Amino acid sequence: MKENPAEQPIRDRLEPGALSVDGFLGTDKRPIADIIAADTGTVEAEGFTVEQLGDFLEKLHVTADEGWESRVPMYDGKISVRSDETLGQIPCPFACGAHCHKAEIAVKDPDGNDLLRFTPLDAHLIAAHGFFEGKGAHYRIEPKTLIALYRLCTE
């Protein structure tokens, strides 16, 4: 599908240097609508919604924030979360008016192995816009990876 010209301002904000050094698209050249449709299709095929997964990330983020840069166990010790914050906020590249504080949340298994790293903005992008970032993006979350984490924690 060809990119809708109305989406050009969004694409411009998703590019490296506009809102973040690395941007949100990685090496993905697909139209934004195609990126979202493919990821949403994967999520729905697994019986989930993007809102459900975004809300799950938000819960991890809020719990990590409460730990004040310390590891916080969750889900009966199946995982732990930690938030490392930097100063400032970042606006949503979709220009919906949302702003998220800058932080990186690390999710680890009981042995200390990384399971996922994400930002508060990722939780918003997924829940509100169905956007998991483009292929090759620094904070790209593969929908199946997030679904597997959700299942690990909730089943």
List the structure tokens of 90: 């970042």
Question: How many alpha carbons fall within 13 Å on the CB side of residue 81?
Answer: 28
Q: What b/e sequence results for 89-100 when a residue is b if at least 16 CB atoms lie within 10 Å of its CB, and e otherwise?
A: ebebbbeeeeeb
* Closest of 142, 141, 121, 136 to residue 19, by C-alpha: 121
- Quick one: pLDDT at residue 58? 96
Q: What single letter denotes the amino acid at residue 72?
A: V
Q: Taking 70 as the threshold, does the pLDDT of residue 1 lie above it?
A: no
Taking only the tens place, the pLDDT of each residue in 44-88 is 999 999 999 999 999 999 999 988 778 999 999 999 999 998 778
Sign of torsion over alpha carbons 141, 143, 148, 153: positive
Taking only the tens place, the pLDDT of each residue in 102-152 is 999 999 999 999 999 999 999 999 999 999 999 999 999 999 999 999 999
* Closest of 126, 135, 108 to residue 53, by C-alpha: 126
